[in-house]
Every structure is written in structure tokens, then in C-alpha cells.
């Protein structure tokens, strides 16, 4: 299978990660098979864990064990998630070693309740990093204004960060600069080479189309174009910040020390509008030094009929024209992306609350204290 589209994407410079995790996937060997077929990373979030726990009885025995000491439900979930993330990291470790620490990561998110709490985010990220104790883990930190200083601090301590919930170019730029400043602080502290510090900036795509399409109205000529154009403009920013061949910019001196670039990661790349091609956000955002994290159905579509060619760099001029056209149509992309960030934080918080509720409900049924045994 070394000639499948996942491997071809890697040859072009893009890593394909899976936006899903479950204990069933780990126990059955499904994740191992996906890694053997080229998948080189895993991302998770509260919504993914909610589905995994609520929709099966796989976790029931473990939940009872995690709760035996009377731990709070938040702690029960954290213990469960840490076990799954650690096991996934072990499956991905060969990919990490083969890539010399530049790929093969699994991501876990700090509590979405901390999205606007800098110190709380730093403390929880440190705890998760220490508890999982694997070099190929990334801690997901939201790209809120409060998340930015947390990104810099964690990177300065050598903790890998996946910056999540990025929608706007300004937020992307802030996240990228926080990474660069964090690497610089790490170097200044005399801790050694930064070559094993890794980060991705997760730029969300399809949700932008959903919002902009609604604002433009049905049948507009720019419908379905905003998400890809917005991401391509972000990629242009990435090139300006991290392209060391330019010999300038904040990152250039760090690159000489072995520091990694912070790769853009395309998230929310399943197609929400059934009228759009199912590989649209994969095909159109294929390009070097990037990651695309996809759910299972999108991965299957990519393998079956995806198109593997660089469409990021060549599409930058057209992308800027699209964004100008959207503004001319009276749609404020800044307002759209601000609203999406708020909605994204709320959605993950709601999923987290729902997840904790489902765990409490299950524990009530599974333990004698619940009165059902």
C-alpha cells in the first residue's frame, strides 16, 4: 500500500492525520493498520471522546476502575483520556522516530473551560504532558487571545503544542509568532537544541464556508470558496514567517539551530455541504510542510479518489481575490471568524460538559452506589 494517496501526499510534503480516536480502534489494531498505510498522526477533542465513550460499552470496566477511589468525574475522564493518548502515541512512535521527531504525533486538548484562562491552560498542559510522558504528544491549546501567551510559555518549556480553533489570519499570525518567541526563549534558557520541539497551527476550514455561504445567500458565485481561500492566505503568511530561504524574518536565526517550522494543519476538512466534492478540502489544500487531519470517511475518500498535487502556493493570488470579493459583497470575514471562534469554544465546552454528564450517568448504572446493580 506504499503507493496509496496517503503516501503520495507525504512525498509531496503533507502529512495525513486521523481526526478520531477510540479504545476500540486501539485494541482492534485499526490504528496500527492506518499507520502502516501512511497515516502519521491522531487528533482528539472533547466531541471525539464523547462519541467514543457514549456510543459503546468498551470503556465501562475502565470507568469503574478509574472512579474506584472516589475521584471527581473530570479526573475520571482525564485518566481515561491519558491512557488512550499514551497508547496511541506508542502506536505512532515508529512514525515519530522515522521522521526524526517531525511527525507521528497524537494530540490531546486542555479543558475547553480554560479557553480564556492563560494560567489555567499552562498548568493543565504541564500536568497532561507529564502524565502522558511521551515525546510524540502535542497539547492542544485554543488560539484565543488568552491562549497565545500560554503557547509561548509551553513551547519555552519544551512542551509540544497544537494550536487549535484558528479561524482568522490575525489569530494564525499571533499563534505562529508565539511559537517563534517560545523557541527563542527555550534557546535563551540554555536548554539545548530545540530540534525536538514541535508545533502545528490548526486552521479550521469548512466552518468558514458554512458561515460565509449563509451570509452571501443562496447561489452566490463565491459560495464554497471562502474556507479554502482563507486557508491559502494563512499558508502565504506561513511562507513569509518560516521560509528561511528568504534569509529574513523572526524564524530565520532559529532555523540554523535545528528548530522546526510550525506547520499549518488544516482542520474541519470534512465537507458539510453535500453539493461539494467530498475531497474538496483535501485536494485544494494539498501542499508542502502542512498537515491535514481528516475523519475516517474523508480519509477513505482521499485514498479512493483524492488528487495529489500542490495547490497551495499556486493558489495564493486567486485566494486573495476571493477574499476581496467576499468583502465587496458586504461580508466581514473578521466578524465571521470572531463569531466562529466563540462558537467553537462553546461547542467544545458543551461537548465536554455532555461528556462528563454521560460518564456520571454510566457510573451511576455501573456501580452499586448507583442503585441499579
pLDDT, residue 369, reads 52
Per-residue pLDDT tens digits for 309-320: 999 988 888 999
The CATH number of residue 11's host domain is 3.20.20.70
pTM: 0.95
The DSSP bridge partners found for residue 267 are 204
Cβ(193)–Cβ(179) below 8 Å: no
For the chain, give the percent of residues with pLDDT over 70: 96
* 3 state DSSP class of 41: strand
Local confidence band at 305 (pLDDT 50, 70, 90 cut-offs): very high
Share of residues in the chain with pLDDT > 90 (%)? 86
CB 315 within 8 A of CB 236: no
Q: Can you tell me the mean pLDDT for 107-126?
A: 97
Q: Is the pLDDT of residue 370 over 50?
A: no
pLDDT in tens, 220-244: 999 999 999 999 999 999 999 997 6
SS3 163: strand
Known catalytic residues? 140
Tell me the per-residue pLDDT of 92-101, one tens digit each, with 9 for 90 and over. 999 999 999 9
C-alpha cell of 234? 494563512
Contact at 8 Å (CB) between 279 and 218?
A: no
CA 336 to CA 207: how far, in whole Å?
10
Residue 373 pLDDT greater than 70, yes or no: no
Residue 7 has pLDDT above 70, yes or no: yes
Query: Which residues face 15 on adjacent strands?
Result: 291
- The pLDDT confidence band at residue 248, using thresholds 50, 70 and 90, is low
Q: If pLDDT is split at 50, 70 and 90, which confidence band does 32 have?
A: very high
Instruction: Give the pLDDT mean for 161-181.
Output: 97
Rounded Cα gap, residues 287 and 266, in angstroms: 11
Residue 346 belongs to domain spanning? 5-370
pLDDT score of 123: 98
Best mean pLDDT range from 49-53, 55-59, 300-304: 300-304
Confidence bin at 366 (pLDDT 50/70/90): confident
**Span 209-213, average pLDDT:** 97
Confidence at residue 348, expressed as pLDDT on a 0 to 100 scale: 94
Q: In this predicted structure, what is the pLDDT of residue 112?
A: 95
* Chain mean pLDDT for the chain: 94
How would residue 371 be classed by pLDDT, with cut points 50, 70 and 90? very low
Q: Of the candidates 54, 40, 41, 33, which has an alpha carbon nearest to the alpha carbon of residue 353?
A: 54
CA distance 70 to 231: 46
**CA torsion, points 347, 348, 350, 352, in degrees to nearest 10?**
170
**How far apart are alpha carbons 142 and 349 in whole angstroms?**
12
Range 166-193 average pLDDT:
96
- The number of domains in the chain is 1
**Minimal CA–CA distance to 333: which of 202, 194, 266, 234?**
234
**Reduced to 3 states, what is the DSSP secondary structure of residue 42?**
strand
| Residue 1 scores a pLDDT above 80 | no
Q: What is the mean pLDDT of residues 79-88?
A: 96
The residue among 134, 73, 78 whose CA lies nearest residue 109 is 78
Distance between CA atoms of residues 123 and 291, nearest Å: 27
Considering only CA atoms, give the Rg of the chain. 20
- Give the model's pLDDT for residue 280: 97
Amino acid at each position: 500500500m506504499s503507493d496509496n494517496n496517503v503516501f503520495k501526499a507525504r512525498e509531496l510534503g503533507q502529512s495525513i492525520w486521523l481526526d478520531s480516536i477510540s479504545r476500540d480502534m486501539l485494541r482492534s489494531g485499526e490504528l496500527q493498520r492506518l499507520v502502516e498505510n501512511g497515516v502519521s498522526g491522531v487528533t482528539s477533542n472533547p466531541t471525539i471522546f464523547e462519541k467514543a465513550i457514549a456510543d459503546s460499552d468498551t470503556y465501562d470496566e475502565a470507568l469503574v476502575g478509574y472512579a474506584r477511589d472516589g475521584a471527581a468525574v473530570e479526573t475520571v475522564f482525564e485518566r481515561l483520556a491519558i491512557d488512550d493518548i499514551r497508547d496511541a502515541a506508542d502506536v505512532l512512535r515508529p512514525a515519530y522516530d522515522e521522521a526524526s521527531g517531525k511527525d507521528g504525533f497524537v494530540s490531546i486538548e486542555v479543558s475547553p473551560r480554560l479557553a480564556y484562562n492563560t494560567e489555567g491552560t499552562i498548568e493543565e498542559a504541564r500536568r497532561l504532558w507529564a502524565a502522558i510522558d511521551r515525546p510524540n504528544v502535542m497539547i492542544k491549546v485554543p488560539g484565543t487571545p488568552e491562549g497565545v501567551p500560554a503557547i509561548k510559555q509551553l513551547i519555552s518549556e519544551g512542551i509540544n503544542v497544537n494550536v487549535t480553533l484558528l479561524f482568522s489570519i490575525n489569530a494564525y499570525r499571533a499563534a505562529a509568532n508565539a511559537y517563534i518567541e517560545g523557541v527563542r526563549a527555550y534557546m535563551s534558557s540554555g536548554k539545548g537544541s530545540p530540534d525536538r520541539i514541535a508545533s502545528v497551527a490548526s486552521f479550521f476550514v469548512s466552518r468558514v464556508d458554512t458561515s460565509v455561504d449563509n451570509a452571501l445567500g443562496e447561489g452566490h458565485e463565491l459560495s464554497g470558496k471562502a474556507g479554502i481561500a482563507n486557508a491559502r492566505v494563512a499558508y502565504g503568511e506561513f511562507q513569509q514567517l518560516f521560509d528561511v530561504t528568504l534569509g529574513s524574518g523572526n524564524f530565520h536565526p532559529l532555523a540554523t539551530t535545528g528548530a522546526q517550522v510550525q506547520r499549518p494543519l488544516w482542520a474541519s476538512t470534512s465537507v458539510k455541504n453535500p453539493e461539494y466534492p467530498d475531497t474538496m478540502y483535501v485536494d485544494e489544500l494539498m501542499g508542502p510542510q502542512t498537515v491535514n487531519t481528516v475523519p475516517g470517511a474523508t480519509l477513505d475518500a482521499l485514498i479512493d479518489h483524492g488528487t495529489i498535487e500542490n495547490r497551495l502556493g499556486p493558489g495564493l493570488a486567486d485566494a486573495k481575490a476571493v477574499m476581496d470579493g467576499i468583502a465587496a459583497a458586504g461580508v466581514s470575514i473578521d466578524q465571521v471568524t470572531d463569531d466562529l471562534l466563540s462558537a467553537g469554544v462553546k461547542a467544545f465546552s458543551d461537548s465536554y460538559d455532555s461528556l462528563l454528564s454521560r460518564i456520571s450517568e454510566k457510573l451511576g448504572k455501573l456501580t452499586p452506589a448507583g442503585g441499579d446493580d
